[in-house]
Structure 1
Amino acid sequence: MHLNRRHFLAASAAALVLPGRRVWAASTLTMGTVRVDSLSDGHLELPLDFTFAGLPEAEIAALLDRHGLAADGLTPPCNLTLLRDGTNTVLFDLGAGPDFMPTAGKLAEALEALDLTPGDVTHVLITHGHPDHLWGLLDEFDEPVFADAEYMIGQAEFNYWMDPATVESIGEDRASFAIGASRRLEVVADSIRKLADGEEALPGITARLTPGHTPGHLAYEIATPEGTLMVVGDAIGNHHVAFDRPDWPAPSDQDPALAAATRVALLERLADGAMPFIGYHLPQGGLGRVERTETGYRFAGDI
């Protein structure tokens, strides 16, 4: 297993100094004939309440200090995963596209930095239907960006976002999530493959139901001759409170109690197996391992 961390420029060396241009880190993990790249779709800008509302204020203050987090808001990265095995080019999630946040939706630049185009992607595996993971499905003409790819999503996740009742039950602050998800999934509804828990999406890639953040959230377990890697999506949503206190309910999860139970079980499994994984909103490209501490866990970004 070989890991290397490289820096890609948005266009050229001038991007280092010109305002408005981006430089981002991409992590590459090679496991035998399988190459996995973590690609930046940009980042989100979130108020603290999105992650910490309802949690003990004293412990939140200590956590912010311990992890060097700003008190005026969070800027979590968005890490998409790209797998190439010599036959398939598999993208996990689609990014935010242009309609969610101006700081996200940068996937096209990330692919270009790898000399790839959307036409090179053979399969798209979706973890869940939140905007920063799904809204990059369509281009400005409401056509699929990855027009030649086969799309896959969890059966339960697809059913949830396509249910007309979801827009009423999800809450007013997330109604746009439901409207946006159903509009995009409708375009590929007849062809998208719906996965069950434990189903093999592609040879060596197995869907794992990890519910709570959304009802049908999937992680994907990638088996190679040199070991196993897991793409966890938002089942582990950050590198601080999710590791320090995984049992705490998080307001960013749609079912906080179920998501906490899922998170505790997933962290335990990843730690026990020393399994590398990629988290969508974790630092350093999201690629690392789980290590136990005296009181909980920590995200270890070095493999």
Structure 2
Amino acid sequence: MNHKLKREHGFIHIPCHELDIFILSDGYFGVGYHQPILAPDIPQNMVKNELRNLYLSESYYEAPINVMLIKKAGRIILIDTGEGFYDEENAGQLLHSLSAAGFTPESVTDILITHAHRDHIGGILSKNGEIVFPNAQYYISRPEFEFWMAGEPDFQKSKNPEGGKPSIPLVRKTLSAIGSRLTTFETGDFLFSCIQTQTAPGHTPGHIIYSVINGDLSIINVVDVFHSPLLIAKPDWGTQWDTDFEAGIETRKKVLENCYQNRTLICSAHLPWPGIGYISKVNDQFQWIPKVYNHPFLINLATDLEIVT
């Protein structure tokens, strides 16, 4: 039996005092079997056993692309732009989800780039090289910009040093195209009076995670710190997608522990849709706990979320 599901566009809405937060679906990506992308150095029988324990597929790995949007007064702030036209079979659904949520590309005022991998910047330009969000200003951390644009990016600390090189022309073309609209910030900066950025190196040198804060409510988006519940349960197994494999492990463990200790509500770019939940521990092993939805139309961030698909 084929258990694959076609990911259609959709969104969820999270009211947060004066802010409205939306999680938009860009679709998903699939890479076949988990290894060697995930857990590259771990014996296959151990990986399959852990996948079984987590009720994850033992034969293929698919992950959603979850994109956050924040509506704040006169600003529409999009965090990353999904795959765009690079994977039109499974992904590239962001504009459809944006429309379903009541927005247009022209209405987006600001785009925060968490890091410059294709599934996060692929939607900036159309297939014809035109800017998709014509009225937006763009923001990227200085370390991330310099890694890709100054000199030759170094992937030697990755488990797949050649794997990152094909991305270089795409990143440079995209960032150059928006150069006049692109502002760099320092990791740790507070943006738009509601987004606290935080350094989370390893996946890329300038990869950030961020907290959306409004009054006593907040949600932290861990972006690409972990791509699967497998890397929550086994954070030191790592992924070839990390530019610095060991730094990625260190960051992953630190973020997991902080989220667990503080009972933080988190969102993720690639955990199972819609990627919102908590980090728990069972027998000293971290565990992903999805957010409970008691009613599909109850719209209180402190309890449940309004789901629209």
- Report the equivalent of 2:129: 142
The 5 Å alignment of 1:1-303 reads: 23-24=8-9, 26-47=11-32, 48-49=34-35, 50-100=37-87, 102-166=89-153, 171-240=161-230, 242-302=231-291
Q: Deviations over 1:17-39 (max 9, x none)?
A: xxx98535533222212221111
Deviation at 1:101, TM superposition (A): 5.8
Query: Which amino acid in 1 is paired with 2:178?
Result: V
Deviation at 1:289, TM superposition (A): 1.5
Query: Which amino acid in 2 is paired with 1:138?
Result: L
* Bigger proportion of residues as helix: 1
Question: Identity rate of aligned residues, in percent?
Answer: 25
C-alpha separation in 2, matches of 1:101 and 1:268: 37
TM-score where L is the length of structure 2:
0.85
Is the CA contact (8 Å cut-off) linking 1:230 and 1:276 kept in structure 2?
yes
Q: Where does the alignment leave 5 or more consecutive residues of structure 1 unmatched?
A: 1-19
Is the CA contact (8 Å cut-off) linking 1:205 and 1:222 kept in structure 2?
yes
Q: 1:137 to 1:24 in 2, by over 3 A?
A: closer
Q: Deviations over 1:87-134 (max 9, x none)?
A: 321111110111246311111111111121111111111111111111
Q: Secondary structure at the match of 1:23?
A: coil
Question: Aligned residue pairs: how many?
Answer: 283
Is the CA contact (8 Å cut-off) linking 1:40 and 1:107 kept in structure 2?
yes
Q: Secondary structure at the match of 2:26?
A: strand
Q: Deviations over 1:259-294 (max 9, x none)?
A: 111111111111222221210001131111212221
Is the CA contact (8 Å cut-off) linking 1:25 and 1:284 kept in structure 2?
no
Q: Secondary structure at the match of 2:30?
A: coil
TM-score where L is the length of structure 1:
0.87
Is the CA contact (8 Å cut-off) linking 1:43 and 1:75 kept in structure 2?
yes
Deviation at 1:194, TM superposition (A): 0.7
